[in-house]
Amino acid sequence: MAKNSIKIKAKNKGGKTEVKALVKHVMETGLRKDKKTGEKIPAHFIKEVKCEHNGNLVFTANWGVAVSKNPYLSFKFTGGNAGDEIKVSWVDNKGDSDSRSTKIK
Amino acid sequence: MVSMKRRSFLKGTLATGALSVAVGTGLLKPSEVLAAWPESAFAEKSLDGAVSALGGGAPSDSGDIKIKAPDIAENGAVVPITVSTSISGVEKISVLVEQNPQPLAASFDLTSACDGFISTRIKMGKTSDIIAVVQAGGKSFSTRKTVKVTIGGCGG
């Protein structure tokens, strides 16, 4: 289980909450070759990111290998007050996962 | 004897209770999560195939979708992209890169509370069109933008 891999910022502005998340992950495509051994590096990437507001799912991202290393994600939703909980969680193709919660500012 | 059975029965229910709580709070979701991942759409090697695997029929061109991405990306490994749309009731926004080995880069499921807005960073193998497909109310819309890449991001 990955730890502390997520950074989240959630801000409420004029009734809308903007969530920004940064995840630390290699996002390996499976197409790259190891320069020393010449063998392909197996794919290792985040498949799904879920975002919950006070326990309700608001946003799901399905990712393929073409999302950049240490991926960044941002979205907006209506509602959400200062102090509400925002939880972001991810699962990768090897079954590894992490989640983190923060409060809306 | 009777009381013993009652004990184990209680234990059993408690255990199941804890399990369903874990599933409910998202602690035990991986298998379910991976099932929802659109495997076929991501595996598609052609743009048209990937778009049709996403569902929603053939997208029609729309001026209501805006792709914000650099005209020239110096580093194809990190291309910032923002898709925003004024179409209401957006259910899904997908980002595809025509010239990538697997065109579908990311697909976002939006609930009704969400704005038609996503921002992320993607990899591009070479200069290509980026296509944003927006699905709303059972219909599909798309728009595209060319991004020039000077250094590829797919192991080149």
pLDDT tens-place string over residues A45-93: 899 999 999 988 999 999 989 999 999 999 999 988 888 999 999 999 9
Structure confidence at residue B76 (pLDDT): 87
Residues 6+ apart with CB under 8 A from B31: none
Please indicate, yes or no, if residue A69 is contained in any of the structural domains: yes
Q: Which of B12-16, B38-42, B117-121, B128-132 has the lowest mean pLDDT?
A: B12-16
- Which residues 50-69 of A have a C-beta within 8 angstroms of B? 50, 52-53, 55, 57-69
Interface of B to A at Cβ within 8 Å reads: 25-26, 29-30, 33-34, 36-38, 42, 77-80, 82, 97, 100-102, 104-111, 113-115, 117-124, 153-155
Beta strands in chain B (DSSP E): 60-61, 65-68, 72-73, 79-85, 90-97, 104-110, 114-122, 128-136, 139-149
Within a domain: A1: no
Q: Which residues of A touch B123 (CB under 8 A)?
A: 27, 29, 65-68
Q: Which CATH number do you get for residue A84?
A: 2.60.40.10
pLDDT tens per residue across span A6-57: 999 999 988 899 999 999 999 888 888 878 888 888 889 899 999 999 988 9
Which residues constitute the domain of residue A66? Answer: 6-103
Question: Rounded CA gap, A51 and A54, in Å?
Answer: 10
Q: Which of A100, A91, A96 is nearest to A4 (CA)?
A: A100
The pTM for the full model equals: 0.79
